[in-house]
Amino acid sequence: MVSTKKDRVLAVLSLSGGNDGLNTIIPYTSGMYRDARPTLAIAENQVIPLNDQLGLHPTMKPLKRFWDEGKLAIFLGIGYPTPSYSHFRSMDIWHTCEPEKIGTEGWLGRAIKELDPKAENVLTGVNFGRGLPRALAKDGVPVASVGNLETYGLLTGIEGQEQRMEALDVFGRMYSPTVGRDAVMDYIHRTGSDALKGADILATAPSKYSSNVEYSASVVGQYMKNIAQTHLAGFGSRILYTTSPYNGFDTHANQASAHASLWTDVSNNVQTFVDDLREHNASEETLLFMFSEFGRRITDNGSGTDHGAGSVAFAIGDHVKGGFYGVYPSLDPGRQEEGGNLKFSMDFRSVYATILEDWLGLDAKPIVNGNFEKARFLQTA
Amino acid sequence: MAEHDVALMAHLLRRAGFGASREEIEAKAAQGFTATVEELLNPETQPGMEEDLLMRYQPAYNEPAAIETNVQQWVYYMINNPRQLQEKMALFWHMIFCAGHSKIDSGQEMGRMIAMFRQYGMGNFKELLVKLSTNPGMVYYLDNCESHKTAVNENYGRELLELFSMGVGKDTEFNYSEDDVKACARAFTGWNIAPAYPPFPYGRSAWEFRYDPADHDDNEKTFLGQTGRWNGEDVIDMICRQPATGRFIARHLYNFFVADEVPVPSWRLTPPRDQEALRQMEDEYFRSGYDIRAMLRVLFNSEFFKSEVVRYAKVKSPAEMVVGLMRQVGEHREIKPGIFEVSQEPKYMGMDIMNPPTVEGWHTGREWIDSGTLVERINFASEYLGNTQLPGVKDMVDRLMARSSAPLSPEEFVVGCLDLVGPLEVAPETMQELLAHAQRGGAAKHRTGADKAEFTRRAGEMFQMIAATAEFQFA
């Protein structure tokens, strides 16, 4: 049998809180780095070198494998002009591609609209976590938001499997689309039956799944597992999104240990995720993208680091052309962003545009609000 | 009998407050509609929050710094403040005078802004606009601190007219011109924030408004056809005198308290749902000299408010859904753990309190509902309303049993449950499903202990189903 070409899938892991790019991709030979980080500089002999200037944080060893395979793209100096140092605002800018004004539509909400214009599949976009990130928000785009895939569904408070099934049955009939009521009531009925449809389908994902890998019990581990489960269940989902625990990367204090455990968790689970997909012959069609809303201050504050600007982002996948993209921002005080921060050198919308056009086959311009030079990190065709 | 009608009282308490337990609804109905309206309108005659108790058990409640703690505190106030209308009005103004934590980045300033709405929200509109224009959080949120005599920033000047007072237009006409926006912005130059003290070593200090006469453009300006060396107060005074302002406030009050209107940007071209209702409130706005409380008195005592047509004609906002349930079931009526999780629920339902998406605020009405938020609403509501251990629900079960010493027929059972939850009226199709479900259990007996336990279980289940109906999504 000839294998049919599978639809491409984008998985996103948002690292909430502002990841310290400087201690993630470390300019380990730089004297200025050591001067700026009297407390937090990572010793040169502990850095995992990627070339003769830059290396990974010691806890990121699992990701080194993908680098060696040529499947890990690292974006340097990623950000946008006139940085915002507010978590919410900066994350909103990444979500909406609107640095100038406040936007309400997310880039992935728009992408889902293009991928599934008639909203025929209620699971084209799925978020793992409570509440919908604005990246996925767009009027008329149904996106399921799953707090816990194992227990996801409607009327989860009803005890007893039989009672709940019967209640869901009643629910299904109560929400069966009717005509002739007022428009709002009709809309709520339609939305209710969409939600039930989505929940019914999603509920089958865990039982369809078996794997030899094991994710950690952390939030990131469980949600990465849920992404793999949903993808492997073959529901036709194209955008799968999750966020690390809210503001976890906001390491103002005790950064040395906090940042290490954050990256241990992320690196291990990302490795497990890719292994999982490979085991199931599903890595070919999957691209994983990781980003954070900003980086952190160049100089440490004696215990942690404060909000900064330019940072790093990552893409991992079989079709990724591994390597560095962009230029590492200068630590030279004369060439910093105002306030002692790294100046961005690559617009995040360049990476989005590449993903949208070269991975999802969409026209990027209306989605990211403009033309941005693509970072050509994907093998085309 | 409107004076002592339970359904009408439930409607009043859902709209002028965040709902109530059945016991409280019946007590207020016995007291009478008119007297209850007056109680709501005169919060100073009612006991307030027991703040000393809060400080005793939650010292962090004193001007908390974290945004989450401020949200938690506000949600606790919404659930527990006996001055319900005052709390509801704070939410009303927060949903119009939108400023958000995403930019302000200070939980303390958000908390202070809400406290200002609580204090002045039922008073004179002119005074409220002055308070708003001098609120440091708002001055920062809309960049008035970046507006200078020599370089005017029009952000606050524009939103004051467009979103906070007059609105773009009325009855298809435009209310002001671009030149008026510029004049308004110039009048507010110099309305600034004092430089902040360094946060170390004592932590952040509260922001302070500061008027800087040297940075104020004192030249002549023409605003709404009148020329003079206007300052901010003069402009507020002229704004308040506009028929457009009376209309704008009246329409917002109608939209919030009576029935969902079309979205605000459509107000210039789309006539109001009830022109006569607005006219009554507009007249009162001018007669009373811009008194919000007087407008509310007209609203709550009016026939258009009491009408059965407008009951359940509004989609509950997430705050109303969450807080309303807590009050109905009697949960978090005292300080105890778990309130933080409850205070986060509106966010999961699409309303991140103290952080509206833009200065235009949340899209309300049907736009509260999408497939993600509907799941959150239904699961949260059914979890609480079906928990027969909670005092408010237990009381509903007791009342249901007390309706008859004989077993309740399935029909009596469903009708009784719907009455106790609302009273809530449902569509015939919904009724049919609920009834079919109740019929499978037969008559509901409650003579023996075992019968009572089964009755309670079935009532809890029925309350869960009712919480899951489309009808329950409305206030």
Q: Which domain holds residue B441?
A: 391-473
What pLDDT, on a 0 to 100 scale, did the predictor assign at position B233? 98
Three-state DSSP at B80 gives helix
Nearest in space to B379 (alpha carbons), one of A189, A146, A229, A137: A146
- Asked if residue A3 has pLDDT above 50, the reply is no
Three-state DSSP at B95 gives coil
- Asked if residue A45 has pLDDT above 90, the reply is yes
Cα B182 from chain centroid (whole Å): 32
Question: Could you tell me the sign of the dihedral formed by the alpha carbons of A69, A292, A198, A146, in that order?
Answer: positive
Residue B321 — left, alpha, or beta (φ > 0 → left; ψ -120 to 50 → alpha)? alpha
Distance CA A93, CA A80 (A): 9
Q: Please tell me the CATH code under which domain A9-150+212-368 is placed.
A: 3.40.720
Distance CA A326, CA A329 (A): 9
Question: Could you tell me the sign of the dihedral formed by the alpha carbons of B33, B38, B41, B43, in that order?
Answer: negative
What pLDDT, on a 0 to 100 scale, did the predictor assign at position A1? 39
Q: Which chain B residues are within 8 Å of A142, Cβ to Cβ? A: 370-372
Tokens representing B15 are: 């709209």
In the numeric block, the tokens 């703690």 are attached to B69
In a domain, B327, yes or no: no
For A82-97, write each residue's pLDDT tens digit: 998 888 889 999 999 9
Say how many domains are in chain B: 2
Distance CA B421, CA B433 (A): 17
Nearest in space to B397 (alpha carbons), one of B297, B442, B330: B330
For A164-201, write each residue's pLDDT tens digit: 888 899 999 999 876 666 888 988 998 898 889 899 89
Residue B317 · residue B352 · CB < 8 Å: no
Segments making up each domain of chain A, as ranges: 9-150+212-368
What pLDDT, on a 0 to 100 scale, did the predictor assign at position A160? 82
In a domain, B156, yes or no: no
Pairs of CB atoms within 8 A across A/B: 123
What pLDDT, on a 0 to 100 scale, did the predictor assign at position A180? 63
- In B352-381, the residues whose Cβ lies within 8 Å of chain A are 352, 355, 357-359, 365-367, 369-376, 378-379
What pLDDT, on a 0 to 100 scale, did the predictor assign at position A246? 85
What pLDDT, on a 0 to 100 scale, did the predictor assign at position A2? 43
Three-state DSSP at B436 gives helix
Q: What letter would DSSP give residue A88?
A: H
Task: Give the closest-approach CA distance of B389 to chain A in angstroms.
Answer: 14
Distance CA A372, CA A351 (A): 9
In a domain, B373, yes or no: no
B interface mutation test: which of A84, A86, A88, A252 has the most B CBs within 10 A? A88
- In B94-113, the residues whose Cβ lies within 8 Å of chain A are 100-103, 105
Three-state DSSP at A372 gives coil
Cβ-defined contact of A188 to B348 (cutoff 8 Å): no
A interface mutation test: which of B105, B355, B370 has the most A CBs within 10 A? B370
A interface mutation test: which of B140, B375, B384 has the most A CBs within 10 A? B375
- Asked if residue A237 has pLDDT above 80, the reply is yes
Cβ-defined contact of B464 to A155 (cutoff 8 Å): yes
Structure confidence at residue B60 as a pLDDT band (50, 70, 90): confident
- Greatest alpha-carbon pair distance for chain B in Å reads 85
- Asked if residue A376 has pLDDT above 60, the reply is yes
Over residues B59-71, mean pLDDT: 85
What pLDDT, on a 0 to 100 scale, did the predictor assign at position B1? 59
For B266-276, write each residue's pLDDT tens digit: 899 999 999 99
Residue B359 · residue B142 · CB < 8 Å: yes
In a domain, B24, yes or no: yes
Distance CA A197, CA B344 (A): 26
Instruction: List the single residue in B with minimal CA-CA distance to A191.
Output: B371
- Asked if residue A381 has pLDDT above 70, the reply is no
> HSE-up of B412 (CA within 13 Å, CB side)?
16
Cβ-defined contact of A192 to B374 (cutoff 8 Å): yes
For B334-346, write each residue's pLDDT tens digit: 988 999 999 999 9
What pLDDT, on a 0 to 100 scale, did the predictor assign at position B204? 77
Task: Determine if the pTM surpasses 0.90.
Answer: no
Distance CA A22, CA A329 (A): 10
Strand B209-211 relative to strand B191-193: parallel, antiparallel, unpaired? antiparallel
> HSE-up of A47 (CA within 13 Å, CB side)?
23
Instruction: List the single residue in B with minimal CA-CA distance to A185.
Output: B470
Tokens representing A17 are: 């809180």
In a domain, B104, yes or no: no
Given A170, A183, A188, which is nearest B473 (Cβ)?
A: A188
In a domain, B16, yes or no: yes
Number of residues written out for chain B: 475
For A8-37, write each residue's pLDDT tens digit: 999 999 999 999 999 999 999 999 999 999
